Amino acid sequence: MAEAATAWTHTFPRNDLASARLAFESGVAPRLDVRGATLGAGLARCSFPDPAPRVGLVRDELSIDYHGFFRWFFLGRYPPGLVEINDAIPWSVAVEGGVAKASMDLRTVQLQRFEVGGGAAKVELRLGTPRGIVPVRVSGGAARFVVTRPPGVAARLRVSGGAAHVELDEQSLGAVGGGLTLTSRGWDEKGDGFDIKIGGGAARVEVRPEGSA
């Protein structure tokens, strides 16, 4: 099936914001494409096919509401919307209602926090260089969650509820029970790195350096 043409595009102004939050507020997001971009005076640029979710900016929060899109989760026919966020400022990203499939390229973004509530079917998250310890959270379980980060950046991976397959760099484990914790070389809670926690169990979790196989 051919993908639908873009039906809605809008650029939101930055309005001198020093930081911002991107929130997918409710409903299961069918497919997401989020990336950092050079937008100048723009805070974010959003493009969605028909039907488009509700999108709004209140103070420093850009909210996207997928309420009522539940059927698209099963039909698999909804093409991805594109959300570009201004990478000149720090961002927090929250997907509060769960997500079917997401590709998030945040390599140029100073990420403050990333979280998915309600579970995730397939998420690919590409991260840049952190400042301090940046929390990455998935609650409600994950079918496949893949995180790439710059080489040499430390990470800690914690999985509760068990997992079928877990990888952190050269560490690879098959079926494991709850309470698993893995750390990369150089992990220091007082340093810079990503603290990744998967709640509710997972099928496959991979955390690896950018460029690795």
Q: What is the pLDDT along the chain (213 residues), one digit of tens a residue?
A: 234 445 789 999 999 999 999 998 866 667 789 999 999 999 999 998 877 888 999 999 999 987 766 544 444 556 778 999 999 999 999 988 777 788 999 999 999 999 988 777 888 999 999 999 999 998 877 788 999 999 999 999 998 877 889 999 999 998 877 788 999 999 999 999 999 998 877 788 999 999 876
Element of type H or E holding 73: helix 70-75
- Residues forming a β-bridge with 34: 83, 104
Structure tokens that stand for 36 in this block: 């950092």
How far, in Å, CA of 11 to CA of 159, rounded?
A: 38
How far, in Å, CA of 207 to CA of 191, rounded?
A: 18
Q: What are the distances in angstroms from CA 127 to CA 1, 7, 155, 209?
A: 32, 29, 11, 10
207, 145 in Cβ contact below 8 A?
A: no
CB-based burial of residue 108 (10 Å sphere; 0-12 exposed, 13-18 middle, 19+ buried)?
middle
How much is the pLDDT for 6? 54
How far, in Å, CA of 104 to CA of 97, rounded?
A: 16
How far, in Å, CA of 162 to CA of 177, rounded?
A: 4
How much is the pLDDT for 72? 47
How much is the pLDDT for 75? 45
How much is the pLDDT for 128? 98
* Long-range pairs, 183-190, Cβ under 8 A, ≥24: 183/154, 183/155, 183/156, 183/157, 184/154, 184/155, 184/156, 185/154, 186/152, 186/154, 187/154, 187/155, 187/156, 188/154, 189/133
Q: Please, how many CA atoms are within 13 Å of residue 23, restricted to the half-sphere of its CB? A: 13
pTM, to two decimals = 0.89
**Domain locations in the chain as residue ranges:** 1-118, 119-213
How far, in Å, CA of 139 to CA of 2, rounded?
A: 33
How far, in Å, CA of 180 to CA of 160, rounded?
A: 7
83, 34 in Cβ contact below 8 A?
A: yes
